[in-house]
Structure 1
Amino acid sequence: MEKEFTEFDQQRFVDIIRECERRIPEEESDLGLDKNGFVPFVTFVTPGINQLLTFPIEAFPAVIRDYSIAVAESLQVSIDMVAVAILGIMALCLQGEFYVQPKEDWKEPLNLYILVIARPSERKSPTMKEITDPVYKYVDEVNKEKQPEIAEYLIKKDILSKKVDSLKKAVVGNKKNTSVKDVIEAQKDLDELEEVTPLRIIVDDVTTEALVKIMEENNERISIVTAEGGIFGMMAGRYNNQPNIDIFLKSYSGEPYSSDRIGRKGESINNPLLTLLIMTQPVVASDAMQNKEFRERGLLARFLYSLPSSIVGKRRYNSKPINPNIRKAYKDLVNNLLSLRDWKFETRTIRFSKEANILSESFANEIESKLLDDYEEIEDWAGKFHGQTMRIAAILHCVKHLASTPTTELTGQTMNEAISIGKYFLDHAIAAFQIAGLTEAQEIKDAKYILRCCDKRDKCDKTITKRDLLRLCRRFKTADEMKPGLDELVNHGYIRIYKDNSNSGRPSDIIEINPEYELQKVQKEGEDNVQLL
């Protein structure tokens, strides 16, 4: 016999439900949850840029040290940004002129790949304009002197081209006194005509095909110097949806490059050398560093990274202008370094003193001992770290000795200075790879990706269904693929997941965003806006 469900029983049932609802926060507290049912909020750790090493400016020779300090003061920018960029300018002046030989069967060219990561308001463009000015002026002066030679070449080329065309027509028309042999000889004269083109040292926005052509015309070397990150888009296949980084990989160390295309003349260069000096915003750098092909094929391992600490909000309007004598000394140095290409040296190899060699070996052994432990997550980058440092040592040596470079041994002092600069780049490389998420476990990367997708939802919605979130997260095909990332977000208190039983049918998984995270995000956006004012 069934017991009748009385009004008293109904009220008792309601009271039990209310008591359970009242006690949930207490029980959740016992489980380590806050009053809203979230795990205590712990943000994902991001390296603090302000805790990174500052550039050891005392390691620079006097001319570029004084100029770096003067430019940083005048433009009110980080000394790191200026010093690292000037190191890139020194590299583009010297690439292809000298090689450093750490040991008998190992030579390194002096070109560098540099990536400076700074916010939009950090005055990257004014800095670039200031430090590259002597290079552009040098190019202008050389090309003015070459103009008659260029004009003569173009006239001869035009005459010979027309001669070949005329002879071809004569042979086709069976004209007397004209033979195929005449055409061949005329074509030979045209092919043997030595090409004379304007000097180019720096380019900016350029396609891969144009880059190779420019290198062919400039003794197989060129530099890309830019305050934008568009070059990464070109590498990733902006124009043809096909990544094309071979020339960038090979030009780091001067490996032969050849490219054949159907319906187009092939391109081939034997010893291409390229210097990259790129200043770009964090979002552009992050996108580039997360490109799977860039990482797997070793492009990211070839860069020196700098993340200058920001001085936005602390800049002075009445800054001290650059002393004319300091600026002139820098200009003279750039001119002297670029003029070394006209010298006829018996050797262009830089050798170490006994002390420098000992320091180099000790530094190499130190790096090697840490590759599988301390540097495991950046092993690809760390594997090139010693060679990068040797290039820096050679650049400092050249700045000090100019034309005496190949006849003077690189000293232990210069090696120590280079190692201190190298350690700066090591510290910043670790941070750059961490910030880009390249040293994190896959579930952490997924969690951050899911969080970015959650941020795309309507700001008025405090929750989102798991089904709708999966639609936003296009990286995942199934909810199971998304689960490890969601678990990390739950464990860090960014979200909580519960069942919605309010409707008939199968309960929906509801994802609620922690209000504490939303507040933190609003505060961060406010700080960013204040700094941009």
Structure 2
Amino acid sequence: MIFNRAGVKYAQKNCRYPYSVEVNDIEGMKEVIAFDHVCANYTNNYRSKDNFIEADVIPMDIDNSGSDNPVMWMTQERIIETFKEYEFILVPSRNHMKEKDGKSARPKWHIYFRITKTSSADTYESLKKRLQKMYPFFDPEALGAARFIYATESEDIYWNKGSMTIDQIFNDADFDSVREGSRNSSLSRKAASLLKRYGDTDEARDLFLKANDECVPPLEKEELRTIWRSAIKFYNEKVLTDPAYVPPEKYGDNEWDDPIPFEEYIMPPFPVDALPKPIADYVLAVSESTQTPLDMAGVLALPAIAVCIQGKYSIAGKSDWIEPLNIYALEVAQPSERKSAVIKLMCNAICLYEIEYNRVHAATVEKNKSRLRMLQKQQKSIEDRIAMGKATMDELENVTEEIASFKEINPLQLYVDDVTTEKLVSILAKNDGHAAIISSEGGIFDTLAGIYTKTVNIDVMLKAYSGDTIKVDRVGRDSEYVLNPALTVMLMAQPSVASQVLGNKNFQGRGLTARFLYCIPSSRLGERNINSKAVPEDVKARYETLITNMLDDPYGNKIITLSDAARELFYQFSMNLEADLLKEYTEFSAWVGKLGGTTLRIAGLLCRAEKYVCHDFCEQYEGDQVDEDVPLVVSKATMSRAIRLANYFLVHARVAFSAMPEEQIREQAKVILDKIREKKLERFTRRDMMRYCSRFKRTEVIQPILNFLDDYGYIRQEPVTVKYYGRPPLPSYLVNPKV
């Protein structure tokens, strides 16, 4: 255990503890307690919460001030028996067995527990609060992260060589440790549950604040106020207006409410008719052939269009508001949902175009490479001749200028599957700033989260979405610049991956999660027809013709504009979003704040895909044909379709941000509910449920699930009588008869 001591005793105003002591035996502990000391490391050895660096030991005080009855006092024997499994050092305090403040002499202790090292002052304080809540004999006034302990001259030191650290006690305790990534959603759920049970009362508010104290670390007051206001709004507008709701004053404590359903959201059907007809027909056919939800192919159609025209067109909301036409989308689907099959069918035309283009231009690419190699060899030859006095600097300057201005021709690469951020920059640079990531997995998120390396450049994803210049400096290599990048991302991920992404604090804080469109299609597993109808050849041909036509558009920066009617419709939609941004959409306001620009992008994609652009000559095509020199203008009808799609994504985003971070715990809760129904349980203990559901092998895994079910009203924990000493009893639960 690591301690830091001062060079003085009983100095209350002293804040400097410059002497670090690693204690491995009782003699080392005697050196520590001979002076005022602290149990953590602080910046510049100056004791304060803000300077907290780390700690592997936590001190707790036992003053036995709760009772004047000696029978209730915590003696050395009782302390050892209570914490015999845990490593700690027990030291009498300087007022041990002395009269103080008019109270009789009694045992008073400092107990120093070994903990798993932590570098968070909030986590450190939270652990002390949790210990005091579990064992009320600990002093509630001595729980700060910057607390110091006065020197004591006692020789009576006891070292308990337990096999566990004290923080492990919560693996076996009835305590919901809510950590970063789930605090907001957990407290939102808790607030709704408390309001429903106690009404809009001080009691509900106090219990909500206590729930925050149990978070690691607790949320800031401003975040708490936002969550509570949102819960009050939900309570007033939804709960109180529900005819089936019974206010708390009208039912007894033993009565049960209807449990809150897990799936509270009705997902809107995908508006496939909002897509251009050749694409809509193909989406319907792919959905039928693969027996997958219409959403899977429908949402994928938008990034497929974006891959074809990003870097070729932009759209203007007004003269100084230009949006590029690349998009990010994330579809959430369970394993075996045929994600790869849908991607293959939707992107096959793009893949075939890339293959054919590279076949036709293979000789040109190779000739370009050969020319560059020749120039480089010529440069090297001239440099050698200059060294021998056989050539002039003018000759070198000529070839050097040609190399500097040389334009490399690279094979066409329209999209990649799995890629690192470093490789992505290189692909963007080689493709004049254009690239796409299309994958049936979410592996790129593991890369961005730093699972494989600590040097992850998340800025690449942020800037490539907005079109901001990317510059990457490489050690030992030339810097890479990407002007006006345009990256499209289409990922299909399992719920567990999506949950981690949406709960990632860095992704949220940097705005990455706010850049994605989300789709959570309903599963068709168990209902699929193996003898489904294949995609008709004529439907496939019309889709491939349109994709090829968009891919044939030359790169440049053509601006798609809005008609007056489209602009008015779009501005009204945007103003409605803005008016409700901090009221209706508080929980995902960052995402909604970008929806206006995203809707513009969708309108631009639809506008181009609705037309067949004649390049050298017009082919026979069923649909609108325009000359490539004719400017594209978004009509009111096209904008209306874009807004329909935006409203579809708005509902899915709300579910994603509110429900997806808890998707895994929700699925686990269903397992427990199934077991309750199977065994017709009316009451059970946590240990019972661990025996019934063998997948939950540790208490720290099952306890949050039981808390979740309690919050949703499926079960209710029975009251626990807390003993003054000894370990708390294991929790037991009553089952809602309505389950």
Match of 2:337, SS state, is coil
Query: Superposition pairs for residues 200-239 of structure 1, below 5 Å?
Result: 200-239=413-452
Residue in structure 1 matched with residue 247 of structure 2 by the alignment: none
Amino acid aligned to 1:68: V
Residue in structure 1 matched with residue 660 of structure 2 by the alignment: 436
Structure 1 residue 243 displacement after superposition:
4.0
Q: Verify the 8 A CA contact 1:300 1:381 in the aligned structure 2.
A: yes
Residue in structure 2 matched with residue 22 of structure 1 by the alignment: none
Residue in structure 2 matched with residue 311 of structure 1 by the alignment: 524
Answering whether residue 552 of structure 2 is matched by residue 339 of structure 1, we say: yes
Query: Superposition pairs for residues 5-404 of structure 1, below 5 Å?
Result: 32=253, 46-48=262-264, 51-171=266-386, 174-179=387-392, 182-341=395-554, 348-403=558-613, 404=626
Amino acid aligned to 1:260: D
Equivalent position to 1:426, from 647, 650, 669: 650
Match of 1:202, SS state, is coil
Show structure 2 runs of 5+ residues with no match: 1-250, 614-625, 673-684
For the residues of structure 2 that align with 1:183 and 1:103, how far apart are their CA atoms? 49
What CA deviation, in whole Å up to 9, does each residue of 1:141-186 have, x standing for no partner?
1111211111111212222222333344445xx4231355544543
RMSD, aligned CA:
3.4
Answering whether residue 736 of structure 2 is matched by residue 512 of structure 1, we say: no
1:266/1:495 Cα in 2 relative to 1: closer, same or farther (>3 Å)? farther
Amino acid aligned to 1:365: M
Q: Verify the 8 A CA contact 1:237 1:244 in the aligned structure 2.
A: no
Structure 1 residue 267 displacement after superposition:
1.7
Q: Verify the 8 A CA contact 2:327 2:516 in the aligned structure 1.
A: yes
Identify, as 1 or 2, the structure richer in helix. Answer: 1
For the residues of structure 1 that align with 2:392 and 2:729, how far apart are their CA atoms? 86
For the residues of structure 2 that align with 1:221 and 1:149, how far apart are their CA atoms? 20
Residue in structure 1 matched with residue 134 of structure 2 by the alignment: none
Match of 1:135, SS state, is helix
Residue in structure 2 matched with residue 411 of structure 1 by the alignment: 635
Residue in structure 1 matched with residue 204 of structure 2 by the alignment: none
Count residues in correspondence: 452
Normalization by structure 1: what TM-score? 0.77
For the residues of structure 1 that align with 2:699 and 2:732, how far apart are their CA atoms? 12
Show structure 1 runs of 5+ residues with no match: 1-29, 35-39, 474-481, 521-533
What CA deviation, in whole Å up to 9, does each residue of 1:311-369 have, x standing for no partner?
11111111111110000000001000010126x8xx71111222111111111111111
Q: Verify the 8 A CA contact 1:46 1:434 in the aligned structure 2.
A: no
Segment drifting more, 174-183 vs 189-198 = 174-183
Structure 1 residue 303 displacement after superposition:
0.6
Match of 2:436, SS state, is strand
Residue in structure 1 matched with residue 50 of structure 2 by the alignment: none
Match of 1:436, SS state, is helix
- Relative CO higher for 1 or 2, CA cutoff 8 Å, sep ≥ 6? 1
1:410/1:170 Cα in 2 relative to 1: closer, same or farther (>3 Å)? same
1:397/1:233 Cα in 2 relative to 1: closer, same or farther (>3 Å)? same
Amino acid aligned to 1:296: G
What CA deviation, in whole Å up to 9, does each residue of 1:452-510 have, x standing for no partner?
xx9999933999xxxx967x79xxxxxxxx9x999877655465574686xxx932124
Structure 1 residue 244 displacement after superposition:
2.3
What CA deviation, in whole Å up to 9, does each residue of 1:3-52 have, x standing for no partner?
xxxxxxxxxxxxxxxxxxxxxxxxxxx97359xxxxx6986764456x21
Amino acid aligned to 2:318: K
Q: Verify the 8 A CA contact 2:717 2:734 in the aligned structure 1.
A: no
For the residues of structure 1 that align with 2:321 and 2:688, how far apart are their CA atoms? 55
For the residues of structure 1 that align with 2:549 and 2:397, how far apart are their CA atoms? 44
Amino acid aligned to 1:268: Y
Residue in structure 2 matched with residue 26 of structure 1 by the alignment: none
The alignment-based identity, stated in percent, is 32
Amino acid aligned to 2:486: L
What CA deviation, in whole Å up to 9, does each residue of 1:296-322 have, x standing for no partner?
111111111000111111111111111
For the residues of structure 2 that align with 1:396 and 1:260, how far apart are their CA atoms? 37
Amino acid aligned to 1:369: A
For the residues of structure 1 that align with 2:383 and 2:440, how far apart are their CA atoms? 50
Q: Verify the 8 A CA contact 1:490 1:496 in the aligned structure 2.
A: no
Structure 1 residue 190 displacement after superposition:
2.4
1:459/1:210 Cα in 2 relative to 1: closer, same or farther (>3 Å)? same
Normalization by structure 2: what TM-score? 0.56
Structure 1 residue 131 displacement after superposition:
0.8
For the residues of structure 2 that align with 1:456 and 1:284, how far apart are their CA atoms? 30
For the residues of structure 2 that align with 1:255 and 1:318, how far apart are their CA atoms? 48
Amino acid aligned to 2:558: R
For the residues of structure 2 that align with 1:181 and 1:494, how far apart are their CA atoms? 88
For the residues of structure 2 that align with 1:392 and 1:320, how far apart are their CA atoms? 30
Match of 1:73, SS state, is helix
For the residues of structure 1 that align with 2:605 and 2:687, how far apart are their CA atoms? 47
Structure 1 residue 399 displacement after superposition:
1.0
1:356/1:177 Cα in 2 relative to 1: closer, same or farther (>3 Å)? same
Q: Verify the 8 A CA contact 2:432 2:482 in the aligned structure 1.
A: no
1:506/1:108 Cα in 2 relative to 1: closer, same or farther (>3 Å)? same
Q: Verify the 8 A CA contact 2:436 2:487 in the aligned structure 1.
A: yes
Residue in structure 2 matched with residue 24 of structure 1 by the alignment: none
For the residues of structure 2 that align with 1:57 and 1:455, how far apart are their CA atoms? 48
Segment drifting more, 507-516 vs 120-129 = 507-516
1:494/1:352 Cα in 2 relative to 1: closer, same or farther (>3 Å)? same
1:255/1:73 Cα in 2 relative to 1: closer, same or farther (>3 Å)? same
Structure 1 residue 409 displacement after superposition:
2.6
Amino acid aligned to 2:319: E
1:312/1:370 Cα in 2 relative to 1: closer, same or farther (>3 Å)? same
For the residues of structure 1 that align with 2:554 and 2:633, how far apart are their CA atoms? 20
Residue in structure 2 matched with residue 459 of structure 1 by the alignment: 690
